[in-house]
């Protein structure tokens, strides 16, 4: 877990159980589904896909240009994947 994410989890975990918010996390490792199973929440964001694409194309284009090329390829499933946002609830102890 990255340091910032670990700090957030630690802060929430330090709260009394009855005051902890629902912690919905994004996971994007290659083994996400193997390690975590199916997501707890799946949101369809297809109605705002063009705005999402504009953000991806925006100021970080140099970091995302190869991926953006895949989004325009009709053989790629990347655009369809972007239309669903997946979240897993953090399992606090």
Q: pLDDT by residue (tens digit) across 61-76?
A: 777 777 777 777 767 7
Q: H-type helices in 41-93, by residue range?
A: 49-57, 61-71, 78-82
Contact at 8 Å (CB) between 46 and 83? yes
pLDDT means per 10 residues, the chain with 93 residues, are 87 95 91 94 93 79 75 74 92 87
Distance CA 35, CA 27 (A): 10
Distance CA 9, CA 92 (A): 9
Question: What 3-state class would DSSP assign to 89?
Answer: strand
Model pTM?
A: 0.75
How high is the pLDDT of residue 22?
94
């Amino acid at each position: 877990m990255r340091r910032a994410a670990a700090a957030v989890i630690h802060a929430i975990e330090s709260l009394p159980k009855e005051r902890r918010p629902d912690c919905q996390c994004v996971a994007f490792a290659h083994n996400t589904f193997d390690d975590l199973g199916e997501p707890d929440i799946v949101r369809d964001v297809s109605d705002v896909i063009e705005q999402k694409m504009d953000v991806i194309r925006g100021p970080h284009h140099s970091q995302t240009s190869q991926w953006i090329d895949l989004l325009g390829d009709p053989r790629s499933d990347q655009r369809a994947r972007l239309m669903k946002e997946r979240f897993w609830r953090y399992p606090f102890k």
